[in-house]
Structure 1
Amino acid sequence: MGLKAALSKPFAAFIVKGINKWKKDAIGAQKETLSQLIDSAKNTSFGKDHGFASIQTYDDFKRAVPIRDYEELRPYIERVVAGEPDVMWKGKPLYFAKTSGTTSGVKYIPLSKESVPEHVKAARNALLTYVNETGKTGFINGKMIFLQGSPILKKKNGINVGRLSGIVAHLVPGYLQKNRLPSYETNCIEDWEQKVDAIVEETFNEDMTLISGIPPWVQMYFDRLTLKAGGKKIKDIFKNFTLFVYGGVNYEPYRAKIEESIGKRVDTIETYPASEGFIAYQDSQQDKSLLLLANAGMFYEFIAADEYYNDNPLRVSLEDVELEKNYALILNTNAGLWGYSIGDTIKFVSKNPYKILVTGRIKHFISAFGEHVIGEEVEHALLTVAKEEGVGITEFTVAPQVETPQGELPYHEWFVEFSTAPKDLNAFSKKVDEALQKKNIYYFDLIEGKILQPLIIRSLKKDAFVNYMRSQGKLGGQNKVPRLSNDRKIADNLSSFIN
Structure 2
Amino acid sequence: MNSAEAWADPDRLRRYRERVFAERQALRTAFADPVGQQRRVLADLLEFNAGTAYGKQHGFARIRTLDDFRRAVPVQTYTDLEPWIERAAGGEADVLTADRPAVFFTSSGSTGAHKKIPVTPRFMRTTFFPFYYAAWAPLIEHFPDVLASPDAVLNLKHDPLTDPPTTASGRPHVGASQVDFGAAFGEPLSAEPGTGAPWARLAVPVAADRHAEKMYLRLRLAVESDVRCVIGINPAMVAALPYQLNLWWPRIVKEVRDGTLGGLPHRPPNPDRATELERLAHRHGTVRPSHIWPRMRALFCWTTGLASLYLPRLRAEFGPDVAALPAPVAASEGPVGVALDRHSGAGSLVVNAAVYEFADADRDLGPDTATLQPHELETDRDYHVVFSHVGGLYRYAVGDVVRVVDHRGGVPRLEYTGRANRSDHAGERLRDAQVIRALHSALDATGLELRNAACRVTESAHRAPGYTFAVAPRTEWRQDESDRFTALLDEALGRESAGYGTARTEGRLSAPALLPLDPDAFLRDWQAQVESGVRPTQVKDRLFRQDPRQWARLTGQDPERHGAAAP
Q: TM-score, normalised by structure 2?
A: 0.79
Residue 416 of structure 2 is aligned to residue 416 of structure 1:
no
Unaligned runs of 5+ in 1: none
Paired AA for residue 398 in structure 1: C
Residues 1:312 and 1:6: Cα distance change in structure 2 (over 3 Å): closer
Determine the C-alpha separation between the residues in 2 that align with 1:9 and 1:476. Answer: 29
Paired position in structure 1 for 2:378: 322
SS of 2:393 mapped into structure 1: coil
Q: Secondary structure at the match of 1:105?
A: coil
Measure, in 1, the Cα distance between the counterparts of 2:420 and 2:390: 24
Q: Given the superposition, is the C-alpha separation of residues 111 and 377 from structure 1 closer, same or farther in structure 2, using an over 3 Å criterion?
A: same
SS for the counterpart of 2:93 is: coil
Asked if 1:455 is matched to 2:512, the reply is yes
Cα offset for 1:79?
Answer: 0.5
1:154 is matched with 165
Query: Does residue 137 of structure 1 match 2:148?
Result: no
2:501 & 2:43 partners in 1: Cα distance? Answer: 46
Determine if contact 1:404/1:410 at 8 Å carries over to the other structure.
yes
Deviation per residue, 1:229-286 (Å, 9 max, x gap): 4234322321221111103863312213412322314122212231111322222224
Q: Structure 2: state its 5+ residue gaps.
A: 1-7, 250-276, 559-564
Query: What whole-Å deviation, never above 9, does each CA across 1:113-153 have from its counterpart, x for those lacking one?
Result: 02224434423212224555x4x412221421221263222
The match for 1:24 among 24, 29, 32 is 32
Q: What's the Cα RMSD here? A: 3.0
Aligned to 1:127: 136
Contact 2:52 2:97 in 1 (8 A): yes
Q: 1:116 to 1:249 in 2, by over 3 A?
A: farther
Counterpart of 1:69 in structure 2 is 77
**8 Å contact kept, 1:150–1:188:** no
Distance 1:423 1:477, change over 3 A: same
Q: Which amino acid aligns with 1:241?
A: M
Amino acid at match of 2:80: E
1:480 corresponds to: 540
Q: Which residue of 1 aligns with 2:318?
A: 262
The residue aligned with 1:185 is 202
Cα shift at 1:492: 5.4
8 Å contact from structure 1 (residues 38, 52) kept in 2:
yes
1:390-405 residue pairs with structure 2 within 5 A? 390-401=447-458, 403-405=459-461
Normalized per residue, the structure richer in strand is 1
Tell whether 2:59 aligns with 1:51.
yes
SS at match of 2:538: coil
The separation in 2 between residues aligned to 1:207 and 1:169, in whole angstroms, is 27
Q: CA deviation at 1:315?
A: 2.0
Relative distance call for 1:489 and 1:38 in structure 2 (3 A) is farther
Give, in angstroms, the shift of residue 360 of structure 1: 1.5
Please report how far the alpha carbon of residue 344 of structure 1 lies from its aligned counterpart in structure 2 after TM superposition. Answer: 0.8
Residue 122 (structure 2) aligns with: 114
- How far 1:391 moved relative to its partner? 3.3
Residue 293 (structure 1) shift: 0.8
Relative distance call for 1:454 and 1:210 in structure 2 (3 A) is same
Deviations along 1:453-485, one digit per CA (max 9) or x if unpaired, are 221111224543344452565362222132125
Structure 2 residue 239 is the aligned partner of structure 1 residue 222: no
How many residues of Structure 1 are paired with residues of Structure 2 in the alignment?
493
Alignment correspondent of 2:252: none
TM-score (norm 1): 0.89
Q: Deviations over 1:180-213 (max 9, x none)?
A: 4632127975323212211111100112112111
Shift in Å, 1:110? 0.7
Please say if residues 114 and 335 of structure 1, whose CA atoms lie closer than 8 Å, have aligned partners that are also in contact.
Answer: yes
1:173 match: 189
Question: Structure 1 vs Structure 2: percent identity of aligned residues?
Answer: 21
Which one of the candidate residues 241, 244, 259 is aligned to 2:299?
244
For residues 462 and 199 of structure 1, what CA distance do their matches in structure 2 show?
Answer: 25
> Structure 1 residue 366: deviation in Å?
1.8
The correspondence for 1:288, drawn from 345, 351, 375, is 345
Match of 2:147, as an amino acid? I
* Whole-Å separation in 1 of the counterparts to 2:16 and 2:87: 43
Residue 497 (structure 2) aligned to one of 440, 448, 453: 440
Describe the superposition over 1:8-44 as per-residue Cα deviations: whole angstroms up to 9, x where unpaired. Answer: 7776654443222112222211111011011100011
Larger radius of gyration: 2
Aligned residue identity for 1:155:
T
- Mark the CA change 1:125 to 1:312 in structure 2 (over 3 Å): closer, same or farther: closer
* 1:92 corresponds to: 100
